[in-house]
Amino acid sequence: MRAQALGAGLVAQTQSSIPPFELHRPGSVAEAVALLAVHPEAVIAAGCTDLTAQLREGRVPRDLISVRRVPDLQQVRHDGGVLRIGAGLTHHEGSRHPVLRTTLPSLAAAWADIATVRIRYSATIGGNLLARRFRYEMPVLLGALEADLELAAATVPRRPVDWLWGGGDHGGGDHDGADHDGSEHDGAGAGAWRTRGLLTGVAIDTSDLLWFGYERSMRPTTTVALAIRVVDGSLRVTATIGSEYRRPVTVSTTADVAHPTDLDPGSVGRAVASRLPDDIEDRAGSAEYRRHLVAVLVGRLVATARDSGAQAPEGVTA
């Protein structure tokens, strides 16, 4: 027999159970932040789909702050050329939200393909990000869109998506336990079990965004999210490459053309592939194989963008 925490009694060694914890249910972001000040090591949870896996992996929460009922985390807004998506939205709710489907329908379509039906109705965008698991797809989508993570009660209130893996740490030295050299750790190894503020949402600059697409036909080996923006009269192509076996990698290339119809898919694909790190290989393929695969998938996305008739946002000269 073994004793449970908090005096909950005895459990046989052959059995497993969730240790008791204190459950807090704030009704606002301010209440959640106040609770974090009192319980800085508390687990923040919404859909709890990944938390279930963490419990199986040995996580033992003493305080759990459920933000599932916080209305501010359920909002989607598009103001001043910035799309903000609340961290508490489930995959199902977020992908179907009318503001997202109007402002960035390609992201809504990509989001709609994530996970199984059972997971989609519970798992949230915030949980997908902060779980820091290589196989989760939202960091790939938002990486290509150069999204910012917005955090309350954090040392630095806004972080790039790369911060999840230990990159993009701008001041304060607070990196959630992840290695700054971008070493290949996910989940708990990347700091997913450490609380460093409350993720309230993600912000995407749409003011210069021409096109976005996602290619997941080769998942789990390789996925590619790609965004095309107008920058100083040229097109910047940003691609984030994902894999179930290593952290996402984001690279960019610039084409001195004015419109996606002028892009050459093969040239852009090769340019993106050439910018991948030397250690891009993983257990599913060599560096040569993955570079070739990325070039093909990027070329496929660029060809789709070229044929889509994408127009520059109002006020942006392409």
Task: Tell me the CATH number for domain 209-308.
Answer: 3.30.390
Residues 233-244 have pLDDT tens digits of 999 999 999 999
SS3 240: strand
Closest CA to 68 of 17, 23, 116, 100: 23
Separation of alpha carbons 54 and 6, rounded Å? 20
The DSSP 8-state label assigned to residue 313 in this structure reads P
Q: What is the pTM of this model?
A: 0.89
Asked whether residue 92 carries a pLDDT value surpassing 50, the answer given is yes
Domain 71-205, CATH number (from 3.30.465.10, 3.90.1300.10, 2.60.40.2250, 3.30.200.210): 3.30.465.10
Q: What is the pLDDT of residues 6-50, one digit of tens each?
A: 555 554 555 566 778 999 999 999 999 999 999 999 999 999 999
Domain ranges within the chain, ordered by starting residue: 71-205, 209-308
Assess contact for 203 and 287: CB atoms under 8 A.
no
| pLDDT of 118 | 92
Q: Who has greater pLDDT, 170 or 66?
A: 66
| pLDDT (tens digit per residue) in 180-200 | 344 578 999 999 998 889 999
Q: Which amino acid is at 143?
A: G
Q: What pLDDT does 184 receive?
A: 75
User: CA 318 → CA 82, 119, 218, 253, distances in Å?
Assistant: 19, 40, 32, 16
Give the Cα separation of 17 and 6 in Å (integer): 13
